[in-house]
Amino acid sequence: KENLGVYVGRIQPEKGIDDIIKALALLKNTSIKVRIMGFLFDKKYLKHLISLAKNLGVKKRIEIITNATRETILKSLAKAKALIHPAHYEPFGIVVVEGMAARCIPIVRKGLNGPWIDIALQGRYGLGFTNVKELANEMDHAIGQYESYDIEAIVKRSLEFSEAEFRKNLIKIVGKLI
């Protein structure tokens, strides 16, 4: 694993990617890099992200790969220590589960639904943040202290979202209704 944080998702303002770049500028550990990958949904926002990275002096520590192949995403997750999911509103966030399965510590935005509640169980299986400074602190901690985390528990949690587990739980719920 490398001192790498990864974002995977659409490249658009609602996803909060600019917060990752702002946090990168606040990190104590300047060896940490970030790779942003996703479907290019908004070219104007991409230009904004590139300009922001340049203005904050972190352009050399950030890589943006638009329309990344599945292979590129999986290879990046395999190298990364953290999966960063800064979306402001997210109903679920399957990419968080994929990152956990790849042995990444999830860092997600705290909220009333989505990854913080449904996947990370409010910090039991990952880290949460509400602002850029907290995101920077969590990135520093997760990547810098990666070896101290119970990665096996994170991977095990990700497996609870497999198709077989979903089917088993659905049958259990329907069985109670009959």
Mean pLDDT lowest among 30-39, 63-72, 166-175: 166-175
Task: Please give the residue that has the higher pLDDT: either 171 or 43.
Answer: 43
- DSSP-derived 3-state class of residue 53: helix
Q: What type of residue sits at position 88?
A: H
In whole angstroms, what is the distance from residue 98 CA to residue 158 CA? Answer: 7
Q: Buried (b) or exposed (e) across 129-143, using 16+ Cβ within 10 A?
A: beebebbbbbbbbbb
Please tell me the pTM assigned to this model.
0.93
Residue 163 clears pLDDT 90, i.e. is over it:
no
Q: What is the pLDDT of residues 94-148, one digit of tens each?
A: 999 999 999 999 999 998 878 999 999 999 999 999 999 999 999 999 999 999 9
173 — pLDDT class (breaks 50, 70, 90)? confident
Q: Buried (b) or exposed (e) across 85-124, using 16+ Cβ within 10 A?
A: bbbeebeebebbbbbbbbbbbbbbbbeeebbbebbbeeee
Query: Which residues, in sequence order, are CB contacts of 21 under 8 Å at separation 6+?
Result: 34, 49, 52, 53, 56, 58, 62
Q: What is the pLDDT of residues 12-58, one digit of tens each?
A: 999 999 999 999 999 999 999 999 999 998 999 999 999 999 999 99
Task: Please give the residue that has the higher pLDDT: either 90 or 65.
Answer: 65
Burial class (CB in 10 A: 0-12, 13-18, 19+), 144: middle
Residue 166 clears pLDDT 80, i.e. is over it:
no
Q: Rounded to an integer, what is the distance from CA 104 to the centroid of its chain? A: 8
In whole angstroms, what is the distance from residue 112 CA to residue 90 CA? Answer: 10
Query: Which residues, in sequence order, are CB contacts of 123 under 8 Å at separation 6+?
Result: none
- DSSP-derived 3-state class of residue 106: strand
